[in-house]
A and B are shown apart, each in its own frame.
Chain A
Amino acid sequence: EVQLVESGGGLVHPGGSLRLSCVASGFSFSNYWMTWVRQAPGKGLEWVANTKQDGSEKYYLDSVKGRFTISRDNAKNSLYLQMNSLRAEDTAVYYCARLSGRYYQYYFDNWGQGTLVTVSS
């Protein structure tokens, strides 16, 4: 059974930093693209970033470029999101998800339960 478990969320002041983690199990982590998607309270889904199997390609939402960094450690079956210079508008539940598909046409087939990040003074 595919499992994705996020952690690392919490309350942080504007301008602060936080590192989210996602531990994967039940599948061969190193064979899949992985992604972070967020959902502000009461709002819809917003893709944040994704990374190729070996970390050689990474893509970001424009509003987080230069502030967030996605990374992975395939030896630890783990995905990370380093979030710096946090803003109030980054407040959201952050989900990690696995990408499936082929030839750069990927949908999100398994999701973690999410971790809440609150940016407030």
Chain B
Amino acid sequence: EIVMTQSPATLSLSPGERATLSCRASQTVIRNLAWYQQKPGQAPRLLIYGASTRATGIPPRFSGSGSGTEFTLTISSLQSEDFAVYYCQQYDNWPPFTFGPGTKVDIK
């Protein structure tokens, strides 16, 4: 099973600041990595797949990078609606599909 880790657990930032979230896989997942955003009481929403491709309707302030075992989600300038929990997920080697524990981006 591929174990996903994320850092930091919590990121406290102000609107307009840049957010950098990290995700690491226990073995290579090539670029088969997705990022999801989840707000309280809502379902997760796909942001990024293929490590760097934005999903339909996702604004360009969200960008993904990385390959192999190290990945990054960057939000270039935080908007109020971006404060949420972000999960990475590998889909290279399954079952099982595995998610990271999440990074919470909250308002400083």
Contacts and interface: CB of A to CB of B under 8 A. Distances in A.
A80 to B, nearest CB: 19
Given A46-B99, A62-B96, A101-B49, A107 B91 contact: yes
Contacts of A112: 43
A51 to B, nearest CB: 12
Q: Tell me whether chain B's interface is mostly helix, strand or loop, or mixed.
A: loop
A113 B44 CA distance: 9
A50 B46 CA distance: 18
Q: Tell me whether chain A's interface is mostly helix, strand or loop, or mixed.
A: strand
Contacts, number: 63
Contacts of A60: 95
Contacts of A95: 43-44
A11 interface: no
A107 B46 contact: yes
Contact of B97 (A44, A47, A100, A114): A47
Contact of A106 (B38, B91, B96, B98): B91
Interface string A90-112: 00000100001100111111111
Contact of B87 (A45, A106, A114): A45
Contacts of A109: 46, 49, 55
A37 B34 CA distance: 15
Which bracket fits the contact residues of B? 20 to 34
A107 B43 contact: no
Interface of A: 35, 37, 44-47, 50, 59-62, 95, 100-101, 104-114
Given A95-B44, A106-B91, A111-B43, 13 more contacts: A44-B87, A45-B99, A45-B102, A47-B94, A62-B96, A105-B91, A105-B92, A107-B34, A107-B46, A107-B89, A109-B46, A111-B44, A113-B43
Interface of B: 32, 34, 36, 38, 42-46, 49, 55, 87, 89, 91-92, 94-102
